[in-house]
Chains A and B, each alone.
Chain A
């Protein structure tokens, strides 16, 4: 099985997949080859997942391996931890990342800490997959990404795919990893019939299995005038911004983090050394999160390389319902473009 470090490493097949189908393809391949892999979540069976993350799995694997569970996040997320500690490989779905509140103890105090608290005695080979993100007026309790919250707390790997190709490779790696992996997929990128995706997440996907290592950011667009570091939906917003900037001769480099934990610092710092201008774009709240972290790391290691830094993020405000208000808080391509221009003007 090939290990793909970048998009160019493996020969692409002749078919494209939506991000949801790429995720499902990885899950079903893992389930076929390992009896210990099973899926648990709300509406994952007949419904195939509210965001299509388990579409078609019930038919092939049945209700014992594709389990609908009661609305009892603490108990079923915790059950995932327990089963994983017994050597199984559960893929547990938290329907919306926003729901982490009701089961956070099982996530950050049990799943993330048992390996350490046991001095390496136990492992928790579990995937916690969850839907994130706004852009469709689902308001404050159903639109968050919460990347910073999960990345901040020690003990769990955090994965954020932005394309179908990345989604499949990262999911294969997530299931095989002996550590807990929080796999955060953006609803707008899934390719749902009722929430059309932008151009970008649907890509060619090899039919064979392959993994993408964690801690390997992907330069989605090379450039020499500014470094734009981002993840998830905003990889595509940044690429749109880069296209617009190119018309004015501004050449932006877009780095897709792909994983927050572990974080690929090297790719970021190499780029900053090249461009001197660091723009970080995040669909999570501005304060105490991803944008601050990336800039802090650059400042710590490469202060001399930095001429300008810019943050583009959601202000510290619950996400509002009305379309005009939601648009005012979620960064758009124009905001990324403005930040790049601002970095260049400094």
Chain B
């Protein structure tokens, strides 16, 4: 069961995310042809795009509020969009501009939007302990906020994830772990590096509920996520969701994917979540005009964000050492109070 409103919102988030990734791919590749130089162009560095993952971000974030915390890995844009991250500031950050979310200091792998409690990070699984911590804070303060940690199926073998499952379970914390299983950890297929068939299989071993959602289906994700988020909000502890998604592009931009069989790429295209979601909307009575309207709005929003980003100033190198600390050491020595002990008797500090 999914409301018409939520359905349309999911569709809009999914279409926005897809268009965003396709446009970023174009913007990224500009200036890097014909010789692919990762440090050249308007968007340098390692860019990981989530085309094909939209069902997961849209389906889960449909149940989240601004005060719910989300942590995501290096492939986060679809989650950020569904979470309500400021798209203009996010895009400016990806383009390395001064008005980006982090003033150009973080970049596409380190997007932080405190207003909606979203953050992504580049170290595999390391967003999980942070999400557990946010859940811990909610628990201590007796709010019904929840935390959600997104991770890839490659990350389920990382200690930080496994420890987080246990810590969340033993303390009944309001956190949901969402594994996005796209089969590939760069070039390593999950069959070669993981013994359990699906990530959901880990849940029982840690004594928390786990559910596998197959077929890259946004509505199925939505339904499973609703149960998990409600469980967390009610104070009934963590859940592990294992969502099947498919990577439509390479691991990072520039990845020739020589290791990936062509049949696997074709399968990813066949199982594209967006047409499936569109069909579901149609079956609920939404007409094609509305679908096109949503798509047009999404495209416009993405184009505006990109155009806006390109107009932003580049960061001033003089600011590079700011923001290391919230309370930067001032360099001045504080006056220490006279302790009245042996030092004072001996003449003190002066």
**Known interface pairs A43-B186, A316-B324, A317-B320. Does A101 touch B38 (Cβ–Cβ under 8 Å)?**
no
Chain B residues, CB < 8 A from A195:
37-39
CA distance A50 to B251 in the complex (A): 11
Interface residues of A in 296-346 (CB under 8 A from B): 315-318, 320-325, 327-329
- Are B321 and A315 within 8 A (Cβ)? yes
Contact with A along B20-58 (1 / 0, CB 8 A): 000000000000000111110000111000000000000
- Are B186 and A323 within 8 A (Cβ)? no
CA distance A158 to B95 in the complex (A): 36
Q: Which of B108, B155, B188, B316 contacts A43 (CB 8 A)?
A: B188
CA distance A47 to B154 in the complex (A): 16
Interface residues of B in 246-277 (CB under 8 A from A): 254, 258-259
Indicate whether B290 reaches chain A with its CB closer than 8 angstroms: no
Q: Which of A42, A138, A141, A329 contacts B185 (CB 8 A)?
A: A42
Chain B contributes a number of interface residues (CB within 8 A of A) equal to 49
- Are B324 and A142 within 8 A (Cβ)? no
**Contacting chain B: which of A21-29, A67-75, A109-117, A230-238?**
A67-75
Indicate whether A2 reaches chain B with its CB closer than 8 angstroms: no
> Max chain B CB contacts within 10 Å: which of A73, A325, A328?
A325
CA distance A102 to B129 in the complex (A): 13
Interface residues of A in 40-83 (CB under 8 A from B): 42-43, 45-47, 50, 68-75
**Known interface pairs A137-B44, A139-B110, A141-B109. Does A47 touch B259 (Cβ–Cβ under 8 Å)?**
yes
Interface residues of B in 78-109 (CB under 8 A from A): 96-97, 100, 102, 104-109
Indicate whether A288 reaches chain B with its CB closer than 8 angstroms: no
- Are B37 and A194 within 8 A (Cβ)? yes
Indicate whether A10 reaches chain B with its CB closer than 8 angstroms: no
**Known interface pairs A139-B45, A329-B320. Does A323 touch B96 (Cβ–Cβ under 8 Å)?**
yes
Nearest chain-B residue to A327 (Cβ)?
A: B317
CA distance A136 to B324 in the complex (A): 21
- Are B158 and A102 within 8 A (Cβ)? yes
Q: How many A-B residue pairs have CB under 8 A?
A: 141
Chain A: minimal CB distance from B247 (Å)? 15
Chain B: minimal CB distance from A237 (Å)? 16
Indicate whether B143 reaches chain A with its CB closer than 8 angstroms: no
- Are A320 and B104 within 8 A (Cβ)? yes
**Known interface pairs A71-B154, A136-B38, A139-B110. Does A46 touch B317 (Cβ–Cβ under 8 Å)?**
no
Grouping DSSP codes into helix (H, G, I), strand (E, B) and loop, the B interface class, with mixed when no group exceeds half, is loop
Indicate whether A85 reaches chain B with its CB closer than 8 angstroms: no
- Are B188 and A68 within 8 A (Cβ)? yes
Grouping DSSP codes into helix (H, G, I), strand (E, B) and loop, the A interface class, with mixed when no group exceeds half, is loop
CA distance A140 to B323 in the complex (A): 13
CA distance A305 to B157 in the complex (A): 54
CA distance A324 to B38 in the complex (A): 15
Indicate whether B159 reaches chain A with its CB closer than 8 angstroms: yes
Chain B residues, CB < 8 A from A68:
187-188, 192-193
- Are A71 and B317 within 8 A (Cβ)? no
CA distance A193 to B100 in the complex (A): 30
Indicate whether B182 reaches chain A with its CB closer than 8 angstroms: no
Indicate whether B122 reaches chain A with its CB closer than 8 angstroms: yes
Indicate whether B121 reaches chain A with its CB closer than 8 angstroms: yes
- Are B107 and A43 within 8 A (Cβ)? no
- Are A320 and B159 within 8 A (Cβ)? no
- Are A322 and B157 within 8 A (Cβ)? no
Nearest chain-A residue to B106 (Cβ)?
A: A321
Nearest chain-A residue to B105 (Cβ)?
A: A320
Interface residues of A in 12-44 (CB under 8 A from B): 42-43
- Are A139 and B259 within 8 A (Cβ)? no
- Are A139 and B315 within 8 A (Cβ)? no
- Are A42 and B188 within 8 A (Cβ)? yes
Residues of B within 8 A of A (CB): 35-39, 44-46, 96-97, 100, 102, 104-110, 121-126, 154-155, 157-160, 185-188, 192-194, 254, 258-259, 314-317, 319-321, 324
Query: Which 10 pairs across A and B sit closest by C-beta, in order of nearness?
Result: A321-B107, A322-B104, A322-B96, A137-B45, A137-B44, A328-B317, A70-B157, A136-B39, A47-B187, A70-B193
Could you list some 24 contacts between A and B, CB below 8 A?
A: A42-B185, A43-B186, A45-B188, A68-B188, A71-B185, A72-B158, A102-B123, A135-B39, A136-B44, A136-B45, A137-B39, A139-B122, A140-B110, A195-B39, A196-B37, A318-B105, A320-B106, A322-B97, A323-B44, A323-B96, A324-B96, A325-B317, A327-B317, A329-B320
Residues of A within 8 A of B (CB): 42-43, 45-47, 50, 68-75, 98-99, 101-102, 135-142, 193-196, 315-318, 320-325, 327-329
